[in-house]
Structure 1
Amino acid sequence: MRHENILGFIAADIRGSGSWTQNFLITEYHEHGSLRDYLRTNILDQRAMLQLAFTASNGLAHLHTEICGMQGKPAIAHGDIKSSNILIKKNGTCALGDMAMATRFLSDTNEINTASHAQRVGTKRYMAPEHLDGSMNRDSFEAYKMTDIYSFGLVLWEIARRCFARGIVEDAELAYFDCVSSEPSFDEMRRVVATERRRPDIPNRWSGDDCLRTMAKLMSECWNPNPAARLTALREKKRQ
Structure 2
Amino acid sequence: MGYLSCNAESSIATCDPYNWDLTRTRKLKHNSKKPNNKHFEIREFDYSDLKSATDSFSAESFLGKGSHGSVYRAALDGGKLVAAVKRTTTATTPDTENEIEILSRVRSPRLVNLLGFGVDFNEGKLIVVEFMPNGSLYDLLHKSSKPPGWGRRVQLALQVARAVQHLHASNPPVIHRDIKSSNVLIDGDGNARLGDFGLALRGHVEDVRVKCTPPAGTLGYLDPGYLAPGDLSAKSDVFSFGILLLEFISGRNAIDMNYSPPSVVDWAAPLIKGGDYAAICDPRIPPPKDPLAMRRLAVLAARCVRSTAEKRPEASEIVDCLRSVKKIMSSPIWNHLRQRAIQLSKPIKYEPLDDATEILKTSRVGSRRNRKVSSVPSADSSKEAMGSSDKDPVVRSKSVGSAVEIKTCTFNSIFFVNQRRAGLAVKMPTVRLSKSRSMGMLPSTRVAVRNPNAGELEESKLLLNLERRCP
Match of 1:147 in 2: 236
CA drift of 1:200 comes to: 3.5
Map 1:210-221 onto structure 2 (within 5 A): 210-221=292-303
CA drift of 1:112 comes to: 5.1
CA drift of 1:115 comes to: 11
What is the aligned residue count? 199
Deviations 1:91-130 (A, max 9, x none): 22211101111111259xx525349987x61111211111
* Structure-1 separation of matches of 2:301 and 2:267: 10
For residue 224 of structure 2, the aligned residue among 129, 132, 146 is: 129
CA drift of 1:147 comes to: 1.0
2:101 corresponds to 1:10: no
Map 1:113-124 onto structure 2 (within 5 A): 113-114=209-210, 121-124=216-219
User: What amino acid is the match of 2:220?
Assistant: R
Asked if 1 retains the 8 angstrom alpha-carbon contact of 2:111 and 2:194, the reply is: yes
Distance 1:198 1:45, change over 3 A: closer
2:207 corresponds to 1:111: yes
For residue 24 of structure 1, the aligned residue among 107, 118, 126 is: 126
Cα RMSD after superposing both structures: 2.8
Q: Which of the pair has the greater relative contact order for Cα pairs under 8 Å at 6+ separation?
A: 1
2:307 corresponds to 1:225: yes
How does the TM-score come out when normalised to structure 2? 0.39
Match of 2:157 in 1: 53
Unaligned runs of at least 5 residues, structure 1: 67-72, 162-171, 182-191
Asked if 1 retains the 8 angstrom alpha-carbon contact of 2:261 and 2:267, the reply is: no
Match of 2:135 in 1: 33
2:247 corresponds to 1:173: no
Map 1:159-198 onto structure 2 (within 5 A): 159-161=248-250, 172-177=251-256, 178-179=259-260, 198=266
For residue 158 of structure 1, the aligned residue among 247, 257, 275 is: 247
CA drift of 1:61 comes to: 0.2
CA drift of 1:212 comes to: 2.1
SS in 2 for 1:11: strand
User: What amino acid is the match of 2:149?
Assistant: D
CA drift of 1:46 comes to: 2.5
Distance 1:176 1:4, change over 3 A: same
* Structure-2 separation of matches of 1:230 and 1:111: 23
* Structure-2 separation of matches of 1:130 and 1:106: 18
Deviations 1:71-95 (A, max 9, x none): xx42100011110011112222211
Asked if 2 retains the 8 angstrom alpha-carbon contact of 1:79 and 1:144, the reply is: no
Asked if 2 retains the 8 angstrom alpha-carbon contact of 1:75 and 1:104, the reply is: yes
How does the TM-score come out when normalised to structure 1? 0.73
* Structure-2 separation of matches of 1:9 and 1:115: 27
Q: Which has the larger radius of gyration?
A: 2
* Structure-1 separation of matches of 2:133 and 2:213: 30
Bigger CA drift: 98-107 or 211-220? 98-107
Unaligned runs of at least 5 residues, structure 2: 1-105, 272-276, 282-286, 323-471
Deviations 1:167-189 (A, max 9, x none): xxxxx4312312477xxxxxxxx
User: What amino acid is the match of 1:198?
Assistant: D
Match of 2:278 in 1: 204
Identity in percent: 24
